[in-house]
Amino acid sequence: DQQVKQNSPSLSVQEGRISILNCDYTNSMFDYFLWYKKYPAEGPTFLISISSIKDKNEDGRFTVFLNKSAKHLSLHIVPSQPGDSAVYFCAARTPTGGGNKLTFGTGTQLKVEL
Amino acid sequence: AAGVIQSPRHLIKEKRETATLKCYPIPRHDTVYWYQQGPGQDPQFLISFYEKMQSDKGSIPDRFSAQQFSDYHSELNMSSLELGDSALYFCASSSGGGGVSDTQYFGPGTRLTVL
C-alpha cells in the first residue's frame, strides 16, 4: 500500500523554466512533508519542508505548496538549472514521539536540459 | 558542516553471513533512523532510536537488530543474509527528538551486495 505517490517517474524541462513535481498521499495522520533530492550513489539531500498546518513554504528557488483537502503537494523550482537534474523524493512524516519515521514516494527523475 | 557518516560504503557478503553497518550522526543529533532502499524502490523505514532507546520500528526483519550507543552512533546488525537483503542502507539523524522541526539528514548510504 503506497501511502505516498509520485505518479510521474520522470520530468524533463528546459533550463530557466519552471519545474513542477507532484506528490499525493493517503494518510491524513502525516504532519510534516519534506522534499529530498538524490544523486546516484549518494544519500538523499534535504531541500525543503512544510508543516501540515501551512499551505506554502518558500526557500530561494524552491517553493512547496500543500493542498491538505486534496492530499496533494507540489514542489516548484524556478528557474530550473542543469544542476537540479536528480531524483526528487517526496516524504511524509508520521509523528511517533521521540522519532518520526518518513514514508517516501517512489521518486521523480528530473532532467533539466540546456 | 559535518554530515552523517556511514561505514562501510560498500560491502559484499555471501548468503547466510553476517554484516554490521555503522552510522555516525551529525554532532549533537540525538535521533538516528535506518532506511533500506532496494533497486528501483523508494527508501523504506526500518528502525529508529532516540536517546539510545528504540523509538519506532518499521519493516525490519527479525534477522536484523540495531542499537544506539552512548556516543549516539548506531549499528545495524544483519544475520543470515539473504539475496533479497542486497540494497542501499541509509542512516539519517535529527536533533528534534520528534519535534515539529525534526528534519532528518541522510548519510551517503552503504551498498550491501549479497552473493
DSSP character at residue B83: G
DSSP character at residue A32: E
Which tens digits make up the pLDDT trace of B30-57? Answer: 899 999 999 888 999 999 998 899 988 8
pLDDT band, residue A100 (cuts 50/70/90): confident
Q: Say whether B42 and A89 touch across the interface (CB within 8 A).
A: yes
Nearest to A101 among B4, B48, B97 (CB): B48
Distance between CA A33 and CA B102 in Å, rounded?
Answer: 11
Contacting residues of B for A7, CB less than 8 Å apart: none
Cis-peptide into A79, omega within 30 deg? yes
Distance between CA B31 and CA B18 in Å, rounded?
Answer: 25
Q: Say whether A51 and B56 touch across the interface (CB within 8 A).
A: no
Q: What is the bridge-based pairing of β-strands A19-25 and A32-38?
A: unpaired
pLDDT at B104 over 60: yes
The arithmetic mean of pLDDT across residues A22-36, rounded, is 94
pLDDT at B21 over 90: yes
The owner of cell 559535518 is: B2
Per-residue pLDDT, B61: 94
Distance between CA B75 and CA B68 in Å, rounded?
Answer: 7
For residue B18, the one-letter residue type is: T
Picking from A3, A2, A1, A6, the residue whose alpha carbon sits closest to that of residue A75 is: A6
